[in-house]
Amino acid sequence: MSKPKVLLIGWDAADWDVINPLMESGQMPALKKLVEGGMSGKLATLEPVFSPMLWSSIATGKLADKHGVLGFTEPDYSSGAVRPVSNHSRKTAAIWNILSHQKLKTNVVGWWPSHPAEPVNGAMVSNFYQKASRSHGENWPMAPGTVFPKKYQQIMKDLRVHPGDLTDEHILPFVPLASQVNQEEDKRLNSVGKILAEAASIHNAGTWLLEHTEWDFMAIYYDNIDHFCHGFMKFHPPQIKGLDDKKFELYKEVVNSAYKFHDMMLGRILDLVDDNTTIMLISDHGFESGINRLLSLPKEAAAPAYDHRAYGVFAAMGPEIKKDELVFGATLLDIAPTLLSLFNLPQGKDMDGKPLLNIFNTKKEVKYINSWDDLIVREVEEKLDPASSKEALEMLINLGYIEKPDDKAEVALEKARVENEFNLARVYLSSNRPKEAISLLETLFKTENSVRFGLRLIIAYEALKKYDAALEIIDTLEKAIKNPIQQLNALKASLLAEKNEKEAALEIVNLAYQQRIDTPFSAQRFAKVLIKYKHFKRADAFINRVLKRFPENSSLLYLSGVSTFGVKAYEKAVELFLESINSQFFNPTAHFYLGECLSKLDLLEDAYRAFSISLKQKPKSRKVMQRLSNLELKGVKVKFSEAEFVNYNSKNLENATLKKQVKKEFLKNLEGTIYIVSGLPRSGTSMMMQLLNAGGADIFTDGKRKADNSNPKGYLEHEGIKQLARNRQLLADAKDKVVKVVAPQLKFLMPKFKYKVIFMDRKVEEVVASQHKMSGKIRAITLIN
């Protein structure tokens, strides 16, 4: 096999919800080629959904507490100013450091954050490269440290596009009615030009390095879809209620145009690489494009992130990648490990992600080392240029990601520190480390009794079962804030339920039922309380009110699965658990419930697989072990060992297969209807069977029970029905037929088939009299015999 060559393309905020209709209508042919020629799927993001933290996790395979990029900015105590996060902020090796260390030729363009550019075995163009810091026509210098090595500085400088260079030829495809824009009042055309010019600069640098340098790995990061979406998603069709008609008409094309332009750039890149190159295209998060779009954002730090969605895109094509298949359960943390696998390099044990082994068409052996940081000494020599930092800071302010730092340096530094501590607490909380989160949040909450700190502190206390401490925080917040907050009520109900204060918990939930449920978080909490007390239908009603707006929310899907399981609708529950797992693969309880449902449906082999994954994700779970033992008793060959579970991601594909299989089985089962004639013995079931037989119905009978005086025309029964409890699958042969199943046997009907039941309703006195008469006759016959 030839030497691996890998191109990684980052499209910040790209989202399948916008892409899919464009691909289907032929407007994104390059991405379609990538999707159809390789593996694709959703890529789960991380908390908090802030791009510089996320792209650092992508590059390192590590959470932010390990990579050290904790927000958009950081306090710089040496200069006494707040500065944007930079290449200096990252304290661990990125994929390009590892590959350079392995003597692989490596180019990186535009990665956020990568300024100042660091020495790599190739070239690096930093994320300060594309920003136009001067007016059109003025000398436009590059910030020191923008390009490594220096020999590429001049060509890179010449390849930049200034927004002022653009003409109507560039702008009109985005805003066809641009001539109607009053540019004195409305600066949005400038914004289109600026974002487009920045995209073109990055693309120019990337394509030049693609064509003119030798490389084994190359990464190009475009932040422009995110910027277009923050500026123009509210104008994207369908029109949001309350949005000005004229503005909608002017800017409704911008978001789709942004995607189409990125596809054109991708098309060019695909032209520039050969068939031996693996291309991976990813985004760090999605972007809300549907009914949850906000016309205005709350006034708080990093508020634009409210528009971000939990799933980005993943698409990969190459000689070692499977074709036209879906990938499930991938997260941002898995990208760097997967790249290492593509280059057949060992994983760092300190990485939080796992290689996506199921995307490969051959089996990859996974090797480990303790940490790449033990081998690599990074050299980011270039100091940050204060002027460039200031410009980058202003850009972040303009985008709304950060507030303008306070004029008093001490206050500004403290605010930046607090934001980053809060972000770190969120990282701990989202990665199941409540103790670490509490140590930060308690201090933050003491300093400021804000809801955002308080909510997280409550959740952290709850995770450690410190329910009273959590309720105290709720009490403090309720006193401090004027308007009630639904999330606090939801948490309160949840905490009271944990303390077994059933009535108080349900009282809060029942009050909330009358209100609009704002967030998946609240719906989940209220639903959990209801599920705990077995109010499954109401729980599902809660979830479904929010699920319509957040159809991919894995927790909502999971809880809907649990409440559906509660009402024994197992096929539907299977669908919900699979949907939930597709969105978030790591959820041992969802796999467990999936196994439970499949067991109930007699799909024992599939149940075994689901339980196995659950056990891998939560080793030594006694509940799962017990289920596996039960399966073994039923004849399933249960074989599992630690070695078999080394990489649970390799099981991902089975979800796809399993889903297809279950669906196929489900649909197959629904293909025919089984017509049941039922009722108490002597209620007239045989008479009804005779009627249907005479009418031409196909009767399911083995003819063993012969006619007698009680039923001179015959019983039309099947002996096997008496053993229905032991052989439930028998009814698979009764499709489109009429079968007699007396009332006591009805409980053994498997829910996976479709039935129509004729229930004979005869007066009980008559039934009893008939039974007595019949049993007397039988006794008489017995005596004679």
Of 32, 91, 268, 364, the one binding other proteins (CB under 8 A) is 268
Q: List 108's β-bridge partners, or say none.
A: 124, 219
- Residues in CB range of 750: below 8 A, 6 or more apart: 601, 602, 728, 729, 731
What is the nearest approach in angstroms of other proteins to the Cβ of residue 184? 24
Which one of 75-83, 180-188, 257-265, 313-321 is the stretch in contact with other proteins (CB under 8 A)? Answer: 257-265
Does 177 bind other proteins (CB under 8 A)? Our answer is no
236, 292 contact by CB (below 8 A): no
Choice between 206 and 454, CB closer to other proteins: 206
Write the single-letter amino acid at 284: D
Token readout for 103 is 């003597």
Binding mask 428-457 for other proteins (x = CB under 8 A): ------------------------------
b/e 322-353 (16+ beta carbons within 10 angstroms → b)? beebbbbbbbbbbbbbbbbbbbebbbbebbbb
Choice between 32 and 260, CB closer to other proteins: 260
Token readout for 739 is 């079968």
What is the nearest approach in angstroms of other proteins to the Cβ of residue 204? 5
Does 410 bind other proteins (CB under 8 A)? Our answer is no
Place of tokens 């070239």: 123
Residue 218's SS3 state is strand
Choice between 32 and 532, CB closer to other proteins: 32
43, 9 contact by CB (below 8 A): no
Choice between 136 and 668, CB closer to other proteins: 136
Does 714 bind other proteins (CB under 8 A)? Our answer is no
Does 10 bind other proteins (CB under 8 A)? Our answer is no
Q: Which of 754, 748, 749, 720 is nearest to 736 (CA)?
A: 754
Handedness of CA 761, 766, 768, 773 (dihedral sign): negative
The number of residues that bind other proteins (CB under 8 A) is: 31
Choice between 262 and 354, CB closer to other proteins: 262
Does 475 bind other proteins (CB under 8 A)? Our answer is no
Does 207 bind other proteins (CB under 8 A)? Our answer is yes
Choice between 203 and 309, CB closer to other proteins: 203
Kindly list the distances between the CA atom of residue 211 and the CA atoms of 215, 272, 712, in Å, as whole numbers in the listed order: 10, 7, 91
Choice between 166 and 613, CB closer to other proteins: 166
Does 542 bind other proteins (CB under 8 A)? Our answer is no
Of 33, 83, 131, 203, the one binding other proteins (CB under 8 A) is 203
Which one of 76-84, 199-207, 613-621, 668-676 is the stretch in contact with other proteins (CB under 8 A)? Answer: 199-207
Token readout for 209 is 């390095």
Q: Do the bridges between strand 673-679 and strand 122-125 make them parallel or antiparallel, or are there none, so unpaired?
A: unpaired
Of 49, 99, 205, 330, the one binding other proteins (CB under 8 A) is 205
Which one of 102-110, 204-212, 622-630, 687-695 is the stretch in contact with other proteins (CB under 8 A)? Answer: 204-212
Does 36 bind other proteins (CB under 8 A)? Our answer is no
Does 33 bind other proteins (CB under 8 A)? Our answer is no
Choice between 107 and 358, CB closer to other proteins: 107
Using CB atoms within 10 A of its CB, is residue 180 exposed (0-12), middle (13-18) or buried (19+)? exposed
Choice between 271 and 671, CB closer to other proteins: 271
Does 178 bind other proteins (CB under 8 A)? Our answer is no
Choice between 115 and 160, CB closer to other proteins: 160
Backbone angles phi, psi at 280, to 5 degrees: -125, 125
Write the single-letter amino acid at 40: S
Choice between 173 and 566, CB closer to other proteins: 173
Q: What is the DSSP letter of 723?
A: G
Q: What is the DSSP letter of 517?
A: P
Does 689 bind other proteins (CB under 8 A)? Our answer is no
Backbone angles phi, psi at 87, to 5 degrees: -60, -25
Q: What is the DSSP string of 336-404?
A: HHHHHHHTT-PEETT-S----GGGBSS-----EES-GGGT------SPPPHHHHHHHHHHHHHHTSSPP
Does 218 bind other proteins (CB under 8 A)? Our answer is no
Does 164 bind other proteins (CB under 8 A)? Our answer is no
Which one of 47-55, 198-206, 329-337, 765-773 is the stretch in contact with other proteins (CB under 8 A)? Answer: 198-206
3-state DSSP: the chain helix, strand, coil percent, rounded to 5?
Answer: 50, 10, 35
Does 194 bind other proteins (CB under 8 A)? Our answer is no
Q: Which of 663, 673, 599 is nearest to 636 (CA)?
A: 599
Choice between 166 and 335, CB closer to other proteins: 166
Token readout for 109 is 């363009």
Of 178, 243, 264, 732, the one binding other proteins (CB under 8 A) is 264
Does 279 bind other proteins (CB under 8 A)? Our answer is no
Q: List 675's β-bridge partners, or say none.
A: 738, 756
Which one of 165-173, 228-236, 426-434, 492-500 is the stretch in contact with other proteins (CB under 8 A)? Answer: 165-173
Which one of 81-89, 262-270, 307-315, 480-488 is the stretch in contact with other proteins (CB under 8 A)? Answer: 262-270
Token readout for 783 is 């005596």
Does 172 bind other proteins (CB under 8 A)? Our answer is yes
Does 272 bind other proteins (CB under 8 A)? Our answer is yes
Q: List 218's β-bridge partners, or say none.
A: 7, 107
Choice between 205 and 424, CB closer to other proteins: 205
Which one of 84-92, 168-176, 234-242, 410-418 is the stretch in contact with other proteins (CB under 8 A)? Answer: 168-176
CA 584 to chain CA centroid, Å, is 5
Binding mask 124-163 for other proteins (x = CB under 8 A): ----------------------------------xx-x--
What is the nearest approach in angstroms of other proteins to the Cβ of residue 268? 5
Token readout for 185 is 């009042």
Does 196 bind other proteins (CB under 8 A)? Our answer is yes
What is the nearest approach in angstroms of other proteins to the Cβ of residue 87? 24
What is the nearest approach in angstroms of other proteins to the Cβ of residue 157? 12
What is the nearest approach in angstroms of other proteins to the Cβ of residue 203? 5
What is the nearest approach in angstroms of other proteins to the Cβ of residue 156? 10
Choice between 261 and 287, CB closer to other proteins: 261
Does 215 bind other proteins (CB under 8 A)? Our answer is no
Of 72, 208, 536, 542, the one binding other proteins (CB under 8 A) is 208
Kindly list the distances between the CA atom of residue 3 and the CA atoms of 6, 122, 344, in Å, as whole numbers in the listed order: 10, 17, 10
Token readout for 256 is 């789709």
Q: Do the bridges between strand 5-11 and strand 277-282 make them parallel or antiparallel, or are there none, so unpaired?
A: parallel
Residue 8 to residue 281: CA distance in whole angstroms: 6
Of 119, 267, 681, 751, the one binding other proteins (CB under 8 A) is 267
Choice between 210 and 734, CB closer to other proteins: 210
CA 661 to chain CA centroid, Å, is 22
Q: What is the DSSP string of 572-615?
A: HHHHHHHHHHHH-S--HHHHHHHHHHHHHTT-HHHHHHHHHHHH
8, 218 contact by CB (below 8 A): yes
Does 6 bind other proteins (CB under 8 A)? Our answer is no
Element (H, E) at 310: none
**Cβ neighbour number for residue 668 with a 10 Å cutoff:** 12
Residue 126 to residue 123: CA distance in whole angstroms: 10
Q: List 676's β-bridge partners, or say none.
A: 739, 757
Residue 548 to residue 556: CA distance in whole angstroms: 10
Choice between 29 and 304, CB closer to other proteins: 29
Between the two ends of the chain, the Cα-to-Cα distance in Å is 85
Q: Which of 463, 394, 402 is nearest to 432 (CA)?
A: 463
Choice between 272 and 480, CB closer to other proteins: 272
Choice between 176 and 290, CB closer to other proteins: 176
Q: Which residues bind other proteins (CB under 8 A)?
A: 158-159, 161, 165-170, 172-173, 196, 199-200, 203-208, 210-211, 260-261, 264-265, 267-269, 271-272
